[in-house]
Each structure stands twice: as structure tokens, then as C-alpha cells.
Amino acid sequence: MDASEGFLVQAENLSKTYRPRDVSPTVALRDVSLGIRPGESIALVGPSGCGKSTLLSIIGTLDHADTGHLQVMGLDVQHLSRTQMADLRFRHLGFIFQQYHLFPGLTVLENLLAKFIGRPRPKHARAEAENLLNEVGLSHKRNSLPKELSGGEQQRVCIARALLSSPALILADEPTGNLDSENGAVVLDLMLRLVKGRQAGLLMATHEKAMADSLDRSVEMRDGAIVGNIQNI
């Protein structure tokens, strides 16, 4: 663990304005500060457009804030090169999105191992991938293509892929947004069990209050700002 002062993420006063050409600018984040400790699970809640996905993208180093300070795993993100950011993501972060983003032409097992494309694949990677597929209950689908799976099954593959090589922090954007409530609850329970079992941190955007209540803490956003912070357990 190389996070400074015991934090996986320390975000201070992050602000972000989108300035698309020919459209008026949108302030997406206003002075957002957030710390995430190892093993902590945090729900980002708030209405559509309040800035949840923007904050996840910035913490995930997929986008950058205009102002403010961000440390991820003790590293000052604004001082990292693109390659260093890619390394940071590869080593320490796992992503789960509402749209599954699986490679349609690869099997379930190949989709997990695709995490290592362009990087040396550790010897134990395949065994770890098989083990994770077992944990998400999909060993029997290891040779299937994504289109042959249900939505819930595809999201379970994404959870396994995100957890492969044990990242310290999982970033999940509406991970159950495409699932009915019953399937959504199953996927959320599974994700929380695996994340907690590995003592990974979790930052998850969700519209659904019931989903947020199962995480350690809920951070409420409105209009780009954090307006509430509730300890759930």
C-alpha cells in the first residue's frame, strides 16, 4: 500500500467545466473534496446530471479537473504523464460501467485476460481469471461470447474483469443501471462481497437509494457539488 496518509484517493476542491464547441459551458463539478480509505465503499448519489460520472472519470484518471488537487494511491495525478496514468489505472484501479464494454468477439475468459493486452501477462493470471469466474458463478460460460449471456451475466463478467489482479479501488458507474431490480440486487450483493473480501475500496455512482444504503457511506451530489455525507454502517 503506497497511498499517502492511509488514503487511496484524496480529492481536494476539484472543479470541472465542460466547454463543448458552439454550446454554452456546463459546470459539472464545483469544489468537490473527497477522501477514500482502503476497503471503504462509498455511494455517489444524486439526480441525473449532478456530476457523478464526471467525478468517477476524474478520479479514474480518464479525464482531468480544471482546478483542484487529486492524489490517487499517493500520486499527484496532475504531475503524471499519460503512460504513468495508464500504469496507475492498470495496477490499482478496476472499472465497471453501466454499458458492459466487453469485447464482442472474445470469449468470457478471453475478455478477462484482455486486461493484459499490451502488457506482460503474469503466470498466475489465467488461474486467477478462472477462479474469479467461479466466484461470479460463470465458470460454465468461460467459452461463451458476451452476446450469449444475459445482462446480469455480462455484468458479472465485468465484475470479475475489474477485480482481476486485485486493484485497490473499484470505480463503478451505475453498475446495475441496465438490470431489473431483482438482478440488480444480485449483482450488487456479489460485487460488494467480492470487493469486501479483497478489502478493495469502492466508489459507485447510483440513482437508487436502496443500493446506496448497502455501502459504508453515501455522498450526495447536487448541481456539481457535494451536499451531504451519510455514514450507513
The site for ligand ATP (CB under 6 A) is made up of 18, 20, 26, 28, 48-54, 205
Q: How many residues does the chain have?
A: 233
Return the number of the residue (50 or 112) whose C-beta is nearest ligand ATP: 50
Q: How far apart are CA 165 and CA 115, in angstroms?
A: 9
**Minimal distance in Å, beta carbon 212 to Mg ion?**
14
Q: Give the H/E segment covering residue 60.
A: none
Q: Which residues bind Mg ion (CB under 5 A)?
A: 52-53
φ, ψ dihedrals at 229, nearest 5°: -150, 110
Return the number of the residue (30 or 69) whose C-beta is nearest ligand ATP: 30
Contact partner at residue 168 from Mg ion, ligand ATP, none, CB < 5 to 8 Å by partner kind: none
Return the number of the residue (16 or 141) whose C-beta is nearest ligand ATP: 16
**Minimal distance in Å, beta carbon 52 to ligand ATP?**
4
Closest by CA to 199, choosing from 30, 31, 24, 36, is: 36
The C-alpha angle with vertex 56 and arms to 81 and 94, in degrees rounded to 5, equals 75
**Minimal distance in Å, beta carbon 54 to ligand ATP?**
3
Contact partner at residue 175 from Mg ion, ligand ATP, none, CB < 5 to 8 Å by partner kind: none
The C-alpha angle with vertex 203 and arms to 200 and 204, in degrees rounded to 5, equals 125
Return the number of the residue (52 or 92) whose C-beta is nearest ligand ATP: 52
Return the number of the residue (28 or 93) whose C-beta is nearest ligand ATP: 28
Q: How far apart are CA 141 and CA 149, in angstroms?
A: 8
Q: Is 32 helix (H, G, I), strand (E, B) or coil?
A: strand
**Minimal distance in Å, beta carbon 18 to ligand ATP?**
3
Contact partner at residue 49 from ligand ATP, Mg ion, none, CB < 5 to 8 Å by partner kind: ligand ATP
Q: Give every CB contact of residue 82 below 8 A, 6+ residues apart in sequence.
A: none
